[in-house]
Amino acid sequence: MRIGELAARAGTTTRTLRYYEARGLLPARRSGNGHRTYDERDLKLLRQIRTLQDFGFELEETRPFVECLRAGHPEGDTCPASLAVYRRKLTELDSLIGELQAVRSEVGAQLERAERARARLAAEAAVPGGPEPVCELGGDGG
């Protein structure tokens, strides 16, 4: 198949395919008239790359999976190098999850503090002569 058909079947652009070719991820085979030609194996490579990128893998992180497929393995993630990338990605994700949980905890604590302060101000405003709560950002008026 030619580059346009491969791009359409893979759900990408010919520009992206040329970029992958330049990066050595997609083989560059030429027909007698100089047109790029591809087959079902190339489509499988592209699907592997796109799936991994959808999962948040950088393009270079897909290389071991592509090489595994090119080596004749039916799946791109059964080679030792691919497994190592999975392990590194899981470690990275665990770290990000930990950071996000810490941020969430901090935001939750700030919300609780702000709600207590708002309740205190509302209670003080209910006392005759108490301060009038003012919301500087507008919204519900206090």
Is the CATH number 3.40.50.2300 carried by domain 3-126? Answer: no
Helix axes 14-22, 40-54, angle to 10 degrees: 90
Domain locations along the chain: 3-126
In this structure, the dihedral spanned by the alpha carbons of residues 71, 72, 75 and 81, taken in order and rounded to 10 degrees, is -20
pTM (global) more than 0.75: no
Q: What is the pLDDT of residues 9-52, one digit of tens each?
A: 999 999 999 999 999 999 888 888 988 899 999 999 999 999 99
The token duo for 48 is 């592997």
Give 42-98 pLDDT, tens digit per residue.
Answer: 999 999 999 999 999 999 999 999 999 999 999 999 999 999 999 999 999 999 999
